Structure 1
């Protein structure tokens, strides 16, 4: 049920954090659909438009500046949660993926998607492919979320910046 996944994914970053496009620390600080607070995660999308949609959730009618980054992925131990057979095999309900995680977390209730993420991480999964639940997402928008990643295989999620355009540290903001 775990399988390698290779391809290119995208993420739209707040420009302030363009010097650390593979840190996952923002997700650790605030939590996300598939990571509780304290657990780093790297959220990406399989399509450029999907990455933009994910990043603009709070501003669907007033787009904010973003830095778009591509990543080359060669990652082992991924689970495809867009495949109904995989969901069945893992005993995962679609409602667990689509839960109102932020509202639940704000009320002190552990979202089912967090419990699922903990279970998958404990089973040795490096990440998942999951449908996008962002406002304005298209039916086929898929995200790749990583809990284990590095610039090299077996958990490669490498920033594509062949021309060195991204800043190397936060001094560009001083």
Structure 2
């Protein structure tokens, strides 16, 4: 395995987007409340998209998970120690196979199993990663930011953009 410089992307910084139920807008950065591609139900995880188009692509992948029409919230992010799964060298340095990250997961969870994408998260967290960049499966070229921890000491910092969303 290579050193951290090969595994971690340059600091991720910018405005990201998240779809939330309007009644949960104020807690939009609290993280997901259910199991996800990279999270068990009891693992706080913040799923963000790099663009509004990315949010829309993600919503296509999860059409039955929302009771109401979501609103899109803008979130300012500063995140070091992120592994970019779009970069084969970073995945190699971290010992990650992209196929494990992108494999179907929902039915495995429904059947009580552990999807390989959860093991990707476990591996990256054990290596000190605070999150990952996940390429969109629905719209190649788009990508998502997945944070395993945030808004604590030495962790990525995220804040809802005031006056936006």
- Please give the range of the TM-score, normalised by the shorter of the 2 chains: 0.7 to 0.9
Equivalence map 1:87-106=2 (5 Å): 87-106=91-110
Deviation at 1:56, TM superposition (A): 4.1
Moved segments of 4+, more than 2 Å: 55-60, 151-154
2:22 counterpart of 1:18: no
Whole-angstrom CA distance in 1 between matches of 2:152 and 2:28: 12
* Alpha-carbon contact 1:10-1:45 (below 8 Å) kept: yes
Whole-angstrom CA distance in 2 between matches of 1:55 and 1:138: 12
TM-score (normalised: structure 1): 0.80
Pick from 108, 114, 137 the counterpart of residue 110 of structure 1: 114
Whole-angstrom CA distance in 2 between matches of 1:52 and 1:145: 16
Pick from 39, 42, 56 the counterpart of residue 43 of structure 2: 39
2:9 counterpart of 1:8: no
The count of residues paired between Structure 1 and Structure 2 equals 155
2:75 counterpart of 1:71: yes
* Alpha-carbon contact 1:70-1:160 (below 8 Å) kept: yes
Residue 51 of structure 1: SS of its match in structure 2? helix
Whole-angstrom CA distance in 1 between matches of 2:104 and 2:127: 24
Deviation at 1:153, TM superposition (A): 6.9
- 5+ unaligned residues in a row in structure 2: which ranges? 1-6
Residue 44 of structure 1: SS of its match in structure 2? strand
1:170 corresponds to which residue?
none
